[in-house]
Amino acid sequence: MSDINIVCFDPSYLFSDLVKRFEGRGCVFSEFPLASAKTYVWMRPQEYVAYLDFIEGIEPEDVTSKFVSAINKIENQITLDKLKKRSVVIHHGICPDPIYQFDAYNSTIKLSDVARVVGVCPFDDCYRQMSNIGNKNNFSFCPIGYDHEVFSEEYIKDKKNSDKENVLNIGFVGRAYGTTDESLLNSSIKASPKGYIKGGDHLLNLSLRLKALDVKFKIHILGQNWEEQVKLFDTYGIDCHYYQRDKDIKYTDYPKIYAGFDLLIVTSRGESGPVPVLEALSLGVPVVGCENAGMVKYVATITSGCHTYKYDTKWHIAEIEKLTEHILRLRQKPLALRDKLMLRKDIEQYTTINWINTIMKYSEGLT
The CATH number for 230's domain is: 3.40.50.2000
| Digit-coded pLDDT (tens) for 334-344 | 999 999 999 99
What's the structural domain count of the chain? 2
User: Which residues, listed in sequence order, are joined to residue 221 by a DSSP beta bridge?
Assistant: 172, 242
Tell me: do 137 and 211 sit in the same domain. Answer: no
Q: Which of 172, 153, 141 is nearest to 348 (CA)?
A: 153
Which structural domain, as residue segments, surrounds residue 311? 153-347
Tell me: do 84 and 165 sit in the same domain. Answer: no
Tell me: do 49 and 173 sit in the same domain. Answer: no
Q: Which of 154, 338, 155 is nearest to 256 (CA)?
A: 155
Residue 127: Cβ-neighbour burial (10 angstroms; 0-12, 13-18, 19+): buried
Per-residue pLDDT, 336: 94
Q: Helix count (H) and strand count (E) of the chain?
A: 15, 14
The answer to whether 107 and 49 are in contact (CB under 8 A) is yes
Tell me: do 262 and 207 sit in the same domain. Answer: yes
| Digit-coded pLDDT (tens) for 94-121 | 988 888 889 999 999 999 999 999 999 9
The answer to whether 115 and 138 are in contact (CB under 8 A) is yes
Domain CATH code at residue 32 = 3.40.50
- Alpha-carbon distance 226 to 197, whole Å? 13
Tell me: do 42 and 60 sit in the same domain. Answer: yes
Per-residue pLDDT, 302: 96
The answer to whether 220 and 170 are in contact (CB under 8 A) is yes
The answer to whether 145 and 354 are in contact (CB under 8 A) is yes
What would the DSSP string read from start to end of 287-327?
EEEETTSTHHHHHTTT-TTEEEE-EETTTTEE-HHHHHHHH
Tell me: do 343 and 202 sit in the same domain. Answer: yes
- 246: confidence class by pLDDT, cuts 50, 70, 90: confident
User: Mean pLDDT over residues 161-166, rounded?
Assistant: 55
| Digit-coded pLDDT (tens) for 260-292 | 999 999 999 988 778 999 999 999 999 999 999
The answer to whether 71 and 51 are in contact (CB under 8 A) is yes
- Alpha-carbon distance 88 to 14, whole Å? 19
Q: Residues 6 or more apart from 139 whose CB is under 8 A from it?
A: 91, 117, 118, 119, 123, 126
Tell me: do 332 and 184 sit in the same domain. Answer: yes
Q: What is the pTM of this model?
A: 0.94
Percent of the chain with pLDDT over 90: 87
The answer to whether 193 and 179 are in contact (CB under 8 A) is yes
The answer to whether 108 and 133 are in contact (CB under 8 A) is yes
Tell me: do 140 and 207 sit in the same domain. Answer: no
In Å, how far are 23, 32, 193, 363 from 360, measured between CA atoms? 11, 19, 37, 5
Tell me: do 359 and 238 sit in the same domain. Answer: no
- Alpha-carbon distance 226 to 39, whole Å? 39
